[in-house]
Amino acid sequence: MRAAAPGRRSALAHLLSTWGLLALLVLLIVAFSLLRPNTFPTAFNITAIVNNKSVQAILALAVFVPMAAGHFDLSAGFLLGIAQVLAIGLQGDGLPWPAAAALVLLLGAAVGLANGALVTLIGIDSFIATLGTGTLIYGLNEWYTGGQQVVAALPDGFIAISGAVLGLPLPALYVLAIGGVLFVAFEYQPVGRFLYVLGASPRAAELNGIPARRYVPAAFATAGLLAAFAGIVLQSQLQVGQSSVGPEYLLPAFTAALLGATSVRPGRVNVLGTLLAVAVLAVTVAGLNQLGAPFFVEPIFDGLMLILAVGLAVTAARRRTRRGGGAGA
């Protein structure tokens, strides 16, 4: 009987490390519902949270992809910013909205490929490379807008991108669809395992015939494509282009991806953990706002959560390594 106790404690610890974020999310929802029973647990509030944070969730999934391969994409927020500006600017110049959206998506993929080339072909650290391209994009965005808002008459078809179907917000459905595709790719397809191996040990990946020059640019291109799509969805919501919009989405996105590495698959970034982390951050911020927290609480909270997420993710990764789980476990 005494020998069984450590086993039960180990199983409980594993359960908490795997589903801790889910348990935290449930506790937060219950707590805020009890504190604000007339406003928090309402359909209106839930819909507002989902609509407001879906773009953040898409961007979190975007930065997750190259992060799985051990690289950071700091250009994602700036790319989101120029995407939402061009989505309305190109339409204001007379381009039909499907063509404008297609060009914006192509731009996102092209920027991602450029990031991948800088990292794999030239050998620049991804942090520096994507910070450079992101700053360049921000400058081009300022040049394009002249520091002014971009306003144009948007067709109903474009505005409907952020509408609803059967009462369900379309942005949330985009998140579920993108998350589903990435989940299958990273959990059940070779491409996901290859990226995880590249992130865990580039040398081991090379010895096993996994070419970084093929998969890393593809990961960055996917991140760029998703960041551009997030910008299109955001523009459909805002209906006005602003060059200052975009960078503020980057920190919460990285926080969610890194915090997600502490749950579901502790020690490595993963899709379900990322989405759970987005939900935890969204519910916490919404609950604090309803409790009367001042406007500056959100960036302070995001910064603290990023530090906590990195610390927990590193600790979980070390434990995973000691257990011999490896990147492909």
* The pLDDT of residue 265: 83
**Do the Cβ atoms of 112 and 221 come closer than 8 Å?**
yes
User: Region 1-14: what's the mean pLDDT?
Assistant: 59
Domain count, the chain: 1
Residue 249 identity (one-letter amino acid): Y
* The pLDDT of residue 297: 81
Q: Is residue 94 part of a domain?
A: yes
Q: Is residue 171 part of a domain?
A: yes
Q: Which helix (H) or strand (E) holds 302?
A: helix 297-323
* The pLDDT of residue 302: 80
How confident is the model over 177-206, as pLDDT tens digits?
999 999 999 999 999 999 999 998 888 888
Among 16-25, 211-220, 310-319, the least confident range: 310-319
* The pLDDT of residue 208: 87
Q: Is residue 301 part of a domain?
A: no
How confident is the model over 8-47, as pLDDT tens digits?
666 666 666 678 889 889 999 999 999 999 999 998 899 9
Q: Is residue 281 part of a domain?
A: no
What would the two tokens of residue 303 be?
A: 């910064």
- The more confidently predicted of residues 206 and 120 is 120
Q: Is residue 98 part of a domain?
A: yes
- Angle subtended at Cα 289 by Cα 312 and Cα 55, rounded to the nearest 5 degrees: 65
* The pLDDT of residue 68: 95
SS3 assignment, position 164:
strand
Q: How many CB atoms lie within 10 A of CB 132?
A: 15
Non-local (6+) Cβ contacts of 79 within 8 A are 107, 108, 111, 134, 137, 224, 227, 228, 231, 246
| Residue 241 per-residue DSSP state | B
Please check the confidence at residue 318 and state whether its pLDDT lies above 80: no
Q: How confident is the prediction for the chain on average, in pLDDT?
A: 89
* The pLDDT of residue 195: 96
What would the two tokens of residue 312 be?
A: 């927990």
| Residue 153 per-residue DSSP state | P
| Residue 155 per-residue DSSP state | P
Virtual CA dihedral for 70, 74, 77, 83, nearest 10 degrees? -90
Domain that holds residue 43: 39-246
Closest CA to 261 of 18, 10, 15: 18
User: Region 164-168: what's the mean pLDDT?
Assistant: 87
Q: Is residue 79 part of a domain?
A: yes
Percent of the chain with pLDDT over 70: 91
How confident is the model over 220-271, as pLDDT tens digits?
999 999 999 999 999 999 999 998 898 999 999 999 999 998 888 877 899 9
Beta bridge partners of 165: 168
pTM listed for this prediction: 0.91
Q: Is residue 19 part of a domain?
A: no
Q: Is residue 64 part of a domain?
A: yes
